[in-house]
Amino acid sequence: HPCKIRACFVLVQAPLRSDLGEIQCVTSVCKEMVKHDVSPVEQEQIVQGSNFSEKNHFGDHYRNYEDSARQNIVQENYRKSHVYCTVDKVGELHNKWVKNLGAHGEFSCMEVLELLDLLVDDSDPDVDIPNSLHAYMTAESIRQAYPEEKWDWFWLTGLLHDLGKVMSVWGEEQWCVVGDTFPVGCKFSDKVVFPEYFSENPDTSHIVYGTEHGQYAPHCGLGALKMSFGHDEYMFQVLNQHASCTLPCAGLNMVRFHSFYAWHTHGAYRHLTTEEDEQVTLPWIREFNKYDLYSKGDDLPDPVRLKPMYQALMDKYGIGGKLKW
């Protein structure tokens, strides 16, 4: 990944993240979770064995895509995504949002977070609250589980992970921004939610893109995949291209692939991943995912009280000022 060289340098330079033994220890613990295709029963076991709320914001089970309180909104968002998200469309969105970072302005992360007060995610069956609150809920859930200061980058990652959704505040259609991600340029997996809508996507019948490996070499690695464009990739690029950002690679990968549920939860696309993706990146993303998903039933946080602490962390990790968006 583009972040690796810088992240390895950071691990050497930053005292709080120089203890590789600590990171390897946590990774080995996380490997217990690296079992794909998590069932609803297993999800309930994760919740019951933790401090997470057993039900989501609506009193329902998490990630209910069959008859949730927001079913019509969520399903229509995914229908558009699966029908219209092609290789060409992803290229168009990359050119619009990533190729010329800064064309949409320069804002601090805290300013963008406050803009998410205006956004309710149309792909999310678990909450209908502004996305800014979800950011604090995720971060605080991680902080509760990892209270030592050496994990403060993990807390901050929880706060930052969805900031790319600001694209919708700035006018982009939500189906281009939110929801589970998946690779384009190869056969779509039936492990993606609402897979039936892919039948209307023109890439499904493409002579190359409709095949198992498509345009990719076997085990090419996550970094080589062209993912359906969305807030994950956009926020990763904003951070990764910001010269002073010192978040470790684990945090950047959480931002980049946290919505890739077909892979990290259901085991799809493993013919395209590397051993490093499976043994290093996956455990961290699975650990992060618990707090991203299961905090959605928690009590609402107080952003006014929390803002100074998280601003200090942004300053610490080199992203406290203006970034190009």
Mean pLDDT by 10 residues, the chain (325 residues): 40 32 36 41 44 54 63 90 98 96 96 90 64 89 95 98 95 94 98 96 98 98 97 97 97 97 96 98 95 66 94 98 98
Residue 233: its pLDDT value, please?
98
Residue 44: its pLDDT value, please?
47
Q: With beta carbons less than 8 A apart as the criterion, state whether 292 and 138 touch.
A: yes
Amino acid identity at 251? G
- Write the DSSP symbol of residue 264: H
Residue 51: its pLDDT value, please?
59
Residues 23, 25: Cα–Cα separation, whole Å? 5
Q: Which residues contact 286 (CB under 8 A, 6 or more apart)?
A: 30, 33, 34, 264, 265
Residue 20: its pLDDT value, please?
31
Strand ranges for the chain from DSSP E: 106-108, 322-324
C-alpha separations of 180 from 26, 46, 137, 315 in Å:
26, 21, 20, 30
Residues 121, 236: Cα–Cα separation, whole Å? 19
Cα of 306 vs its chain's centroid, Å:
22
Residue 70: its pLDDT value, please?
73
Residue 198: its pLDDT value, please?
98
- Write the DSSP symbol of residue 183: B
